[in-house]
Structure 1
């Protein structure tokens, strides 16, 4: 059940106050990311992107009482890395373009493992949310930007790891060190001038924690014609690209 907690001092554990279930009327709810209205973004309301299966939209005027709109921000896609389910990752982060980078977790079937009845593989995908209307998706990744590769992410060792083939992003912040000088090796020379770097923490095989750098950038659609990389449509004059290290 999705729950909320508030504090005026996040560094002091005794100041946290439990607020209870966000949707007490629902029998099941989880995996939410909030996008709050601020003077900088000028939103008229706060947003909560939540749910596992498809990512639903809830709104609020006070961040305490949320109304589920019944609409969805992101749905699963057949024959894709996110065909089985999608779930919210960390809160969307504002880019220098004014738009928002929203990383979501996803799963697809067809990956048998030593865990009885478990055939899912989890991956990261990304969307770019319009900076003036975050319910409008400017671009969505056509391929995963991060998949299980390391032994402790694949976790296909009976009794050592809980859930094989799972990577699940939990937290993401702007990298305090900025981007490395060789960022072009990750994002490509064309995208390097506008590159922004983020530091994230993710789970592997539901057993371990790892760190990841996510690099996001954009170029003008005029530089790539009418489509973005890997088949994504080009919208709002910009073509976005996100990669993991």
Structure 2
């Protein structure tokens, strides 16, 4: 049960729930209803000590800061972010995020980071350097013009990456060279016209790659042949592109 905007609570750095004085008086005057009110509050605390940010809503290990339902002009501060496995900051117009000024503090529980639909032009190279445990990173529907290689170098445990619907022109050499565990990669809906033959160097665990809806006019499976460790590949998606003669994947 998430606390809604205006609820009489806040989460301190020590994770203790504080109830404002006026609500304490109301509870005291309730008399015979005090016990039932206490049970309600205890139940809420068991699920999650509430984060009472006017910008974000929390629920079962997930913090969602959604610009479609709230006016979000600044990136959430560290006390608000702590304690979640999933962080979503979406549909915002946060200038600092769009222009690469945001660096996340250490968030030990964080495994999934969603920064989609924010108009991001560039990411700070140090955005996630304090959170190398992140496994899933979503950057779709932004305005990135290149693969954020420096950012990805700080994510050795990454298994899922979505760069769809940006303005990326090319996937350069060694774009994911530290992401040895990357299994699913989406780069669909960009302006891709080139994929370097050594773009997937170091990507040993890849299962699915989606390059659909780009302006690629040719494609070579040499991209995969150059990574002999790449034995788990199941799906390659190239639909809605300019490729007229699809190469045949070589049989072993």
TM-score, scaled relative to structure 2: 0.22
Which of the two has higher C-alpha Rg? 2
Greater helix proportion: 2
Specify which structure has the higher proportion of strand. Answer: 1
Give the TM-score taking structure 1 as reference length. 0.23
